[in-house]
Structure 1
Amino acid sequence: MMAYLIYAILVIIVFLLNLNGFLRGAKKLQIDVVLRSIIIGTLIVSFLTTGWKYGIIAVGIALVSIRFTRPIAARAASKLLSVPKGKSDKYIGLPPKALEKISKRLDIVLPSNPNHFDEVFQSADSAEDALFDYCESQPAVKTVMEDFQVSRKDLKEIYSKLIAAGAGQWSCGHWVPASALAYPESLKYVLSRRGSDIEETSFNLIMYFEHGSFGIGI
């Protein structure tokens, strides 16, 4: 009985850990540390109170829960972040695995050693090429590109402008400037607003990937 209680606690805490990762707030890091500490403590308790076999099962449940509670946590975060709160049911879900991997590569962090800048920028360029390859491989996205007569070069320019305008951030599992180009609805929105306020466009894209609407209450 104790083992099952521990398993349930682990699933709940892992879910909260994933949920915290999708939310905004100044105390995200502190909350993350607390939740991770609780998970580690719960695993230790499992080994001490139920034996090593159940302890190993607990570790497995924690690892599996990280993956399987993530989509649920993303949708829950979308609900919590929605305006008005809790009334959005338009969240598009997490990005496909291929796009998610590319997005993680695009979220670059400059190293403290300037000698490694070139290496980081080369990696970023490679990730951008992978993003544009992905976009061109999606029939619906390719159709939007053809309808608006935009090229790969245009996508690169738009991506850079979105980054400069503040869209270079994560929103409910999406690296916004990448997903903006990789989904037909968001790409159509971006292209239809060429020449408009790019900062407003960036904000609306963040809202779109957060709760499914381009802007507040739209």
Structure 2
Amino acid sequence: MIYVFHAALAAMAFLVTLNGFLKGAKKAQIDAILGAMVVGLLVVGFVAFGWMMGAVALILAFVYAGISRPLAAAAAARLLSSASGSPSGRYRGLPDPVLGRISRSLGRQRSPEQALDDLLHGGSSQRIDARSDLLDYCVAKPGILEVMQSFDLDRSDLEDLYFALMAVGAGQWAGGHWVAASALAYPDSLRFVAKKMGRGQAADRDETLRAVYALVMHFERGAPLAES
């Protein structure tokens, strides 16, 4: 019985995590239903197996969700790609722990006033530190340095690209990635951004918006980045 209970709890944790990566008009309702089902399972655990096993189940629910996150992200990418009929590709996977930590700092929810302050004045000291960490992370990667050399970019150019991405809508989560950060943190996506938005490129807003959309689809669904 206990094994069935934990199998059900793990399955529900996976579904909750999966729904977090999905989109749709009914996402909030589905999330509420799944959350209620998880709470119901935990109540059953406390009643059927005692408070100690119930407490263990509560902790394990978070563990199951964490363990299933990479699988849920990949499954969501495949589902979203199939549902939309978008070009197939390979989902990149979640960012590594260092980039993930930086992205969480950069992607914390903020008010419109704070977002404007980020663009005009650089934002809070924590966000400034997070951007500095992002740039340190990028320039420490040989593949990124190679792209930077190809496009004659320096560290300040990367920061300018980050601000440019934020200004046109890349400050959003997609497939577990903070798009404005991850766009600079991988050689292929940085090459794409440099070609579309780097120095000397025409500031065509429609083209820039299409580039941001392509980045979102890439990190969310694995859609290939067309550089032409």
Q: Distance in 1 between matches of 2:23 and 2:51?
A: 38
Q: Distance in 1 between matches of 2:93 and 2:24?
A: 21
Give the 3 Å change call, closer, same or farther, for CA 57–63 of structure 1 in structure 2.
same
Q: How many pairs does the alignment contain?
A: 214
Q: Deviations over 1:164-215 (max 9, x none)?
A: 1111111110000100000111001111223252111101111111222246
Give the 3 Å change call, closer, same or farther, for CA 113–165 of structure 1 in structure 2.
closer
Moved over 4 A (4+): 83-87, 111-114, 117-120
2:172 to 164, 169, 173: 169
> 1:193 is matched with which residue?
196
Shift of 1:143: 1.5
2:184 to 181, 186, 203: 181
2:144 to 141, 144, 155: 141
Answer yes or no: is 1:65 the counterpart of 2:64.
yes
Name the % identity.
40
Q: How does 1:1-218 map to 2 (within 5 A)?
A: 1=1, 3-82=2-81, 85=85, 88=88, 90-110=90-110, 121-194=124-197, 195=201, 197-214=207-224
Q: Distance in 1 between matches of 2:221 and 2:212?
A: 14
When structure 1 is superposed on structure 2, of 85-94 and 144-153 the one drifting more is: 85-94
Shift of 1:127: 1.2
Shift of 1:124: 1.8
Q: Distance in 2 between matches of 1:176 and 1:169?
A: 6
Normalised by the length of structure 2, the TM-score is 0.84
Secondary structure class of the residue paired with 1:205? helix
Shift of 1:163: 1.1
Secondary structure class of the residue paired with 2:93? coil
Q: Where in structure 1 are there 5+ consecutive unaligned residues? A: none
Secondary structure class of the residue paired with 1:82? helix
What letter corresponds to residue 195 of structure 2 in structure 1?
S
When structure 1 is superposed on structure 2, of 84-93 and 40-49 the one drifting more is: 84-93
What letter corresponds to residue 221 of structure 2 in structure 1?
H
Shift of 1:85: 4.6
Q: Deviations over 1:68-95 (max 9, x none)?
A: 1000000000001115559845001000
Would you say the 8 A contact 2:42–2:57 is kept in 1? yes
CA RMSD of aligned residues (A): 2.6
Shift of 1:152: 1.1
What letter corresponds to residue 166 of structure 2 in structure 1?
I
Secondary structure class of the residue paired with 1:51? helix
Q: Distance in 1 between matches of 2:95 and 2:66?
A: 14
Q: Distance in 1 between matches of 2:112 and 2:170?
A: 24
